[in-house]
Structure 1
Amino acid sequence: MLKSTLLRPFASYIRRRLRYRSALAVEIQEEIRKDLVRTARDTAFGRDHHFDEIRSYPDFRRRIPIGDYEAFKPYADRIKLGEPDVSWPGVPKYLAKTSGTTSGVKYIPLTRDSLPNHFGSARNALFNYVAETGHARWLDGKMIFLSGSPEMDSTNGIPTGRLSGIVNHEVPAWLRTNQLPSYATNCIEDWETKLEAIVEETIHADMRLISGIPPWVQMYYERLLARSGKATVKELFPNLDMFVYGGVNFEPYRESLERLVGARIPSVETYPASEGFIAFQDSQTEPGLLLNTGSGIFFEFVPAEQVSSDRPERLSLAEVKMGVNYALLLSSTAGLWAYDIGDTVEFVSLDPYRIRVTGRVKHYISAFGEHVIGKEVETALRSVAGRYGAEVTEFTVAPQVNPVEGLPYHEWLVEFSRPPADAAAFSAALDRAMVEENLYYRDLIQGKILRPLVLTALPTGAFRRFMKQSGKLGGQNKVPRLANDRKIADALLEA
């Protein structure tokens, strides 16, 4: 019997449970907070922060300071040595290795208690889609997950690798027969070599589901079409029925991906991170991602403008408001405590609690106090590109503080797959859109502190060359949309 038929009842159960738990999100969050403290009371972190004296959420805030990886690193170093009971009972099953902005490589524990958050949540996202839409054909064909290598190192006996590679070791048995590429192909380190092998393995397969970060999926599509001579991916894979993505906003890539596919494919957006599976799209009609409030994570929120202050306001789920840009904190069964994940979010619904990612705490431009964030540049570019018939492959924005002549400005470095017919009009419209998006930027433009943005069109392949030179081509790597300096911009101009 087909898997799509067998799994429909379970998918309906998953959706009913999600809706029930979402209605009780505040109460469940409080129970998770209590359980986390109770379970970790006798760990080194628990003793250091007097968990035995925590009786309430105000106690929790007083005893557990906000911290990023730098603050957690002394405990992470002990965990890496194999010491048990450091920030969570026992030793982790895996260490997820990820890049840090200030700490170099980060090692995030994945414990046996935290694994259901990662893998159960991914399952819930897909099964919820089946129950909502009735579309389950993707379960009966091949699926591809464009990810990092599953090969693991050992850190004092703890298997260590990229989260996307670790995922390959936890794929359930019922799904393995559907999964591509092969383990051997997935282990190829060089992205371009790996991509050619993936194309070879999948070009004649009955592909139904494709999952990955949009820019790398785009590369896969382009190679498929170049190899096959077909006009669209749908000609190759007529049963392609699902696209799962996360990590970046899909909208800037939508037009080019749909052109390559030859159709709009149903999609599910997810918000996974090494630190936890934060949220996922639970509705095909409502905006935002359902916050994963019932999966071993206790969430806190800090107004983004207060992140660097000495005494930031720190809110539980019950205290959040819509439309406010919050830095996201999490405490979890992985042994992370009031951990600043580095992302900013805003709520688009409080019943249920749905969010959208607005950017990174450290990825912004505020060279003149404007504090431009990722959501603003993506919204502006998407709206203007649509009006001018342009198609964007990739982009990033950086300040030019000391131009050779004239006032400072924001430089937009954009790689077009279809450039606008009138670049000057496009640039002017984009600046007007940014004025509408950010009132501080508007004041700086009107006050003649900044001149209108400068659009620099980059040649085809510039971003890929930059990522390759940086050793970050493929996998789960992403180009930051914003930087407060010119390191990325200057490297791109030289790529």
Structure 2
Amino acid sequence: MKDPVAAQREVLQELVTSAQYTSFGRQYGFNRLFTVRNFKQTVPVHEYEDLKPWIDRMMQGEENLLWNTPIRWFAKSSGTTSAKSKFIPISDESLEQNHYQGAKDVLTMYYRFNPDSELLTGKGLVIGGSHQVSQLSEDINFGDLSAVLLQNSPFWGHWLRTPDLSIALMDEWENKLEQLALNTIPENVTSISGVPTWTMVLLKRILEMTGKSRIEEVWPHLELYIHGGVSFTPYREQFRELIGKNIHFLEMYNASEGFFAAQDSPDADGMLLFTNHGIFYEFMPVEEYGKPYPVTVGLNKVELGRHYAPVISTTGGLWRYIVGDTVQFTTLRPFRIKVSGRLKNYINAFGEEVMVDNTDRAVAIASNRTGATVNDYTAAPVYFSQQGNGAHEWVVEFEQPPADIAHFAYELDSALKNLNSDYEAKRHKDIALRMPLVHAVKKGFFNKWLSINGKLGGQHKVPRLSNDRKLLETLLSML
């Protein structure tokens, strides 16, 4: 926090020095790279497909390709819009210096603001992914990130966590949900961590099984919910209602590629960027995406409120790798960020540049104004036609539907206008965009779609925004 720019220079120096005799390091002359500028001029920006040939060879057991120590683990990460899986290399260094260090820092930051906490007197309920660990060979394994972290966590980590590892790593979500509930109800759970959508499903099932009306009656010492993966804004009030007492909410940004940031203060807008955890960051303005030589900036040149795509170099051997998320800086002293969406998860069919951060906040505002509760949603453009101007078409799953769906659509539209000036301009007098079309669907609709696509449970989530109608047409055909 004191000198993050210097910390980042040191991280890059260590990365390049460590990898200089790898195949990748030799190809790009790492032994001759002495400045950030040299590094950026020499090494191209990569997406997963660019590094895939290297990773495929690593998965077959070849060593010293992208990183200088053996890679025994790969985190399987499936994209939200594609069935294709990515396999992210996880080295011992990325486990120790990044993922586990980040987890310890989250605890440290929490205790700093809650010195009388009794968090570690009970168990932490971890609602992880749903993929079993699989073997590629005698030495090499893969699974989703939570499975990899659980399998490699130190022995003391298992004392503090629930449920048992055999349940945590179960593959089949419906059965896992039942076992999670049965095995954790008797425990003294003091914290919960997981994606909000699946955490809510579990908490509701626990209330059904116990006959209680609030989670505080099941776990009276519950004090912390750690969330990430999707925006918590549409879920905050539902969690407060379900739990029944005031607890702390803490956001973190932990992906297969690395543990990037976490909330360091309960009042902070955004998450503290981890600048000394084995990851070197560059930030690519989103308008640069797709260019053959995209411009990136370092921490010393980022601006507040602008949308950037993080480009990372890591101790797992990802070099100038585009993560795929978009972030905005909320403060610069220290550097705090919030996730604003996905590079391929937005609507910009008419120049409106609507990001997930906009729609999450608009949904929360519209819900508040109409007394509705939203479980999940997705939206896509309606293109110009002879029948009329463009629009945004929404499929919204309500836990508590509004009395009038047209009123909800009106409030949603009003909130989006206030949050996004480009959207407001396109809505002016319906010249480019008319009122949004909103379809209300029954509870369980999106889970059904996830189940059909083999993505039920764990880290999987419904793509909130699409710039084409492919997903939306599939969902409409299910109505």
- Common fold by TM > 0.5: yes
What is the CA–CA distance in structure 1 between the aligned matches of 2:50 and 2:459, rounded to whole Å? 25
Kept in 2: contact 1:321–1:347 (CA 8 A): yes
Q: Which of 144, 157, 162 lines up with 1:162 in the alignment?
A: 144
Q: Deviations over 1:282-331 (max 9, x none)?
A: 10112110001010000000111111223332111111111111111100
Paired residue type of 2:196:
P
- Counterpart of 2:468? 485
- Counterpart of 1:257? 239
Q: Which of 73, 87, 91 lines up with 1:111 in the alignment?
A: 91
- Counterpart of 1:302? 284
1:374 aligns with 2:377: no
Offset, 1:457: 0.9
1:430 aligns with 2:409: no
What is the CA–CA distance in structure 2 between the aligned matches of 1:135 and 1:369, rounded to whole Å? 50
What is the CA–CA distance in structure 1 between the aligned matches of 2:300 and 2:151, rounded to whole Å? 37
Structure 1 residue matching 2:473: 3-state secondary structure: helix
What is the CA–CA distance in structure 1 between the aligned matches of 2:72 and 2:101, rounded to whole Å? 16
Structure 2 residue matching 1:263: 3-state secondary structure: coil
What is the CA–CA distance in structure 2 between the aligned matches of 1:236 and 1:179, rounded to whole Å? 17
Offset, 1:262: 1.3
Structure 1 residue matching 2:108: 3-state secondary structure: helix
Offset, 1:364: 0.7
Kept in 1: contact 2:365–2:411 (CA 8 A): no
Unaligned runs of 5+ in 1: 1-21
Offset, 1:52: 2.2
Higher mean C-alpha deviation, range 192-201 or range 439-448? 439-448
Higher mean C-alpha deviation, range 207-216 or range 93-102? 93-102
> How much identity, in percent, do the aligned residues show?
38
1:448 aligns with 2:431: yes
Kept in 1: contact 2:130–2:172 (CA 8 A): no
Paired residue type of 1:57:
V
Q: Which of 285, 301, 309 lines up with 1:327 in the alignment?
A: 309
- Counterpart of 2:458? 475
1:336 aligns with 2:318: yes
- Counterpart of 2:52? 73
- Counterpart of 2:70? 91
Q: Deviations over 1:188-225 (max 9, x none)?
A: 21111110011111122221111110000000011011
What is the CA–CA distance in structure 2 between the aligned matches of 1:267 and 1:409, rounded to whole Å? 35
Kept in 1: contact 2:264–2:272 (CA 8 A): yes
- Counterpart of 2:342? 360
Offset, 1:126: 1.6
Paired residue type of 2:57:
R
- Counterpart of 1:390? 372
What is the CA–CA distance in structure 2 between the aligned matches of 1:37 and 1:399, rounded to whole Å? 44
Paired residue type of 1:69:
Y
Q: Deviations over 1:70-97 (max 9, x none)?
A: 1111211111111110011032131111
Q: Deviations over 1:154-195 (max 9, x none)?
A: 223311111011121133322312321112222321111110
Kept in 1: contact 2:131–2:170 (CA 8 A): no
Paired residue type of 1:105:
S
- Counterpart of 1:140? 121
Distance 1:50 1:286, change over 3 A: same
Offset, 1:149: 4.5
CA RMSD of aligned residues (A): 1.7
What is the CA–CA distance in structure 2 between the aligned matches of 1:42 and 1:253, rounded to whole Å? 48
Kept in 2: contact 1:70–1:103 (CA 8 A): no
Kept in 1: contact 2:132–2:170 (CA 8 A): no
Structure 2 residue matching 1:23: 3-state secondary structure: coil
Give me the TM-score of the superposition, normalised by structure 2.
0.95
Unaligned runs of 5+ in 2: none
Kept in 2: contact 1:150–1:166 (CA 8 A): no
Offset, 1:479: 1.2
1:64 aligns with 2:26: no
Offset, 1:266: 0.8
Kept in 2: contact 1:466–1:491 (CA 8 A): no
Kept in 2: contact 1:209–1:240 (CA 8 A): yes
Paired residue type of 1:152:
V
Structure 1 residue matching 2:235: 3-state secondary structure: helix
Offset, 1:46: 0.8
Kept in 1: contact 2:131–2:171 (CA 8 A): no
Q: Which of 194, 197, 201 lines up with 1:219 in the alignment?
A: 201
What is the CA–CA distance in structure 1 between the aligned matches of 2:309 and 2:131, rounded to whole Å? 31
Kept in 1: contact 2:130–2:457 (CA 8 A): no
- Counterpart of 1:39? 18
Higher mean C-alpha deviation, range 239-248 or range 146-155? 146-155
- Counterpart of 2:250? 268
Kept in 2: contact 1:256–1:392 (CA 8 A): no
Higher mean C-alpha deviation, range 48-57 or range 292-301? 48-57
Offset, 1:57: 1.2
The number of aligned residues is 474
Offset, 1:102: 6.4
- Counterpart of 2:396? 414
Kept in 2: contact 1:462–1:492 (CA 8 A): no
